[in-house]
Amino acid sequence: MDPVTVSTTISAPREQVFDYLQDIANHAEFTDHYLVDWHLTRIDSVGRGAGARFRVKAPGNRFSWADATFVEVERPHRIVEAGRTGKNNRIRTLGTYELAPASSGTTRVRFTLETVPATLSDRLMESFGARGWFKRKNGRAMRRLRAIIERGEQRGSRVTVAAG
């Protein structure tokens, strides 16, 4: 799938937004409308190596489990997560959060998601509206992220390690 990019501007310092995003356990709070059943892959949920496994609530998705692990954490401007999804985890994913200072103490957050389907059948499944679906869901996630950080909206329960 071609990269899908969404962005938002948050009225908070870049360091505050970065501190929130570098804890993968927080990601369930703003993505729980389409990513559910979160479980951490290690006890420490902050920084490089932190990861989680979750289900993607996409229509017609028979193989819904996915995972993501932070592979680059460059304070305070970039977080890269690599993962896998699909049947036998054969579809690679790459998500990138880029944080840039904006006017008068605000932060511009841009999230880009790329997938690399392994087979022709995976590419065909993605061609049936996956790009638009992910753009809508990630756009909503960015709006929810902004609301959580700016207004301190109600946060959900904390994600934990599987069986922990």
In the predicted model, is pLDDT for residue 158 greater than 70? no
pLDDT of residue 163: 60
In the predicted model, is pLDDT for residue 156 greater than 70? no
Helix (H) or strand (E) holding 24: none
164 domain-assigned: no
How large is the average pLDDT for residues 108-114?
A: 96
The CATH number of the domain holding residue 97 is: 3.30.530.20
118 domain-assigned: yes
pLDDT of residue 120: 83
Binning pLDDT at 50, 70 and 90, where does residue 157 land?
low
17 domain-assigned: yes
Which domain, by its residues, includes 38? 4-151
Query: What's the domain count of the chain?
Result: 1
**Residue 129 to residue 85: CA distance in whole angstroms:** 17
158 domain-assigned: no
What burial class does residue 26 get, using C-beta atoms within 10 Å of its C-beta: 0-12 exposed, 13-18 middle, 19+ buried? buried
130 domain-assigned: yes
